[in-house]
Structures are given as structure tokens and as C-alpha cells.
Amino acid sequence: MYLEAGFVICFLACVLIAGCLLIFITFGRRRIRSIQKVREMNACGKLHLFNLLAEPFGFSYLMLQDLITTREDAWQRDFGYHAFFDRSASHFHMVLDCEPVYFYYAGETWLIEFWKGQYGINVGGEIGIYHADSILEPEQYDHALFQSVPDEKMLPLSMELFYKGSLLFGIRRRHWWLTGFRMGRYCEPEDLTMKASLTFPDVAMLNSFVKSLLYMGYSQNEVHVREFTVSFSFAVPYTLQYRKHFVYYSRWTQWKNRVLCKIYQWATKPFTCTLDQMLYLYYCLPFVFRYMLHFRKNKEQKYNRKGRGSV
């Protein structure tokens, strides 16, 4: 009886070991083929393929800066902005500094918000432009749903992101949501400084925006105006930071982000640039590739489907 039980256990152990070896060999071959596929592609082919794959997620790749950014026609545009998105950011692996600037212009309440920090395994920054079609009181801001601006209300935006004084990237576009994400990097939000500039269509809008910056706590020396362009540095935020209410959870989230960054770097170590790394994941681990592009504003879709925020 004992011999029969021992034989069964030994047989099952052999089957398990054989199964693990088969999986290991199969994955090893797939990994080698994936590396070869990426290395055999030319730069134009890689760029075309990645942008084709990233388009449904609302992103594109800038080869000269090894940077992922958002498209003007990104699907996230349909979902606008609600303060709930910032309050829940740490639950989506994002630990950020946020600087929302509310102001009035042309009978509407406008919001231009600035973000910088850790987006899962990405270091990045954002500038988003939103508006409500009425004048709101300040106590309504946290409960209002702001719409993304249409094409005719987009502004020329510029953003430079620095990590401890060293430039990570700079990007300039006419946009409603200007972003830049450097994949596989880790940081603390306070180690980042964003130099932002915005060009407004007229003096009235410019003055209203500057007035709000000064009211928030920025000094005259920190805000630079030249014709219709406003420039300032966003380092230490002047507004309430929701993550400060969840200090321990934010630390836990950052610990996970740091670990995930190391796993990403280890898994993609045959390559050094984001384009090659992401295409390698696409061929080798396609489900991981899809997950990697599900960052930042996917929570907006979930939130709006529940029908919560309203102006």
C-alpha cells in the first residue's frame, strides 16, 4: 500500500517537473524568436507597428525622445475630468503631484491642470485643458464634471520635465492633453519639476489664468508673461494633495511601482529603448503589452460608466 502511494507521488512529481520543463523550453524558444523579430525590423517598421498597436489606447511614440505621448484623438477625450480621478489615483498605481488651476473666461469655468509623478512603471507629466459651460462656485469644483475642450479651444502647450535638475524630456504641441511618459523609470513626485508654458488666444484669458495662479500662492517672480504666453515652474504644489491623506497607501503603491520597474527592466534587458522593449513584449507576452498601455485615464472610463460626476 505504501509502495503504491509512493509510486503515485513519484509519478505525479515527474509529470509536474516534465510540464515545467516543457513550459520553460517553449517560453525560451518564444523569447528567442521575439528577440530576433525585433532585431530584424528597421526603425520605420518598428515605429509604424507600435503606433498602430498603441492607437486604440490613445497613445503614440516619439522616437527622437524615446517618449510615449497622447494623441489628439485619444478616446480618453470623451470622458473629461472629475476631481475623483485625482483622489483615486493611488489605487491605479499612480502617485502624483497635481496642480489644478480654475478660472473664469467667456462665461465658462475653465480648468487647466498639471500633473507630474509616477504612473505605474512610468515617470511622466501632463497638462490637461477642460471647461464647464457655466460659472461654478469654488465649492462646486470637487463635484463637477469638466469636459475636454474641442479642437478650436485647444492651446499651444509646452512642457519640460526635470528629475533632480536633469532634463528628462521636453515636448511642445497644440493640444487638449499634452503628456509625456518615460517607461521603466522610477521617481518620487517631489523630485520632479515641470517647466510649463501656455499661449492664450487673448489678454482676457491670459489675465484670468495668471490671477488664479497668484491667488493659489505663486509669486509675481514665479510667473512670467510675454505677449500671450505664460510660463512658470511646477515643483512644490500649492493646492491640496489628495495623496497626503493616504500616506501609507501611497508608500505601498510606490514600493510596488519600484518592484515593477525592476521586473520590467529585467524582462526587457535584451533592449534599451522603449520602442524595442514594448515590441518585444508584444511578440513574447502580448497580454503584458496590453496591460502596459492601460495607464493614466482608464479610470475615467470606469467612473463615467457609473454615471457619478455631473456639473
Question: Which pLDDT band holds residue 11 (cuts at 50, 70, 90)?
Answer: very low
pLDDT of 252-290, one tens digit each? Answer: 999 999 999 999 999 998 899 999 999 999 998 888 888
Question: Which pLDDT band holds residue 298 (cuts at 50, 70, 90)?
Answer: very low
**Contacts of 243 by beta carbon, 8 Å cutoff, 6+ apart:** 89, 90, 95, 96, 250
- CA quadruple 28, 33, 37, 38: dihedral, nearest 10: 10
Please say whether the dihedral angle defined by the alpha carbons of residues 211, 150, 298 and 50, taken in this order, is positive or negative. negative
Among 129, 311, 136, 125, CA closest to 205: 129
pLDDT of 153-180, one tens digit each? Answer: 999 999 999 999 999 999 999 999 999 9
Distance CA 282, CA 70 (A): 19
Neighbour tally for 2: CB within 10 Å: 6
Give the least confident one: 24-28, 78-82, 192-196: 24-28
Angle at 302 between CA 296 and CA 308, to 5 degrees: 115
C-alpha R_g of the chain: 23
Residue 13 has pLDDT above 70, yes or no: no
pLDDT at 5: 45
pLDDT of 28-47, one tens digit each? Answer: 577 889 889 999 999 999 99
pLDDT of 199-214, one tens digit each? Answer: 999 999 999 999 999 9
Distance CA 303, CA 161 (A): 29
- The C-alpha cell at 311 is 456639473
pLDDT of 100-136, one tens digit each? Answer: 999 999 999 999 999 999 999 999 999 999 999 999 9
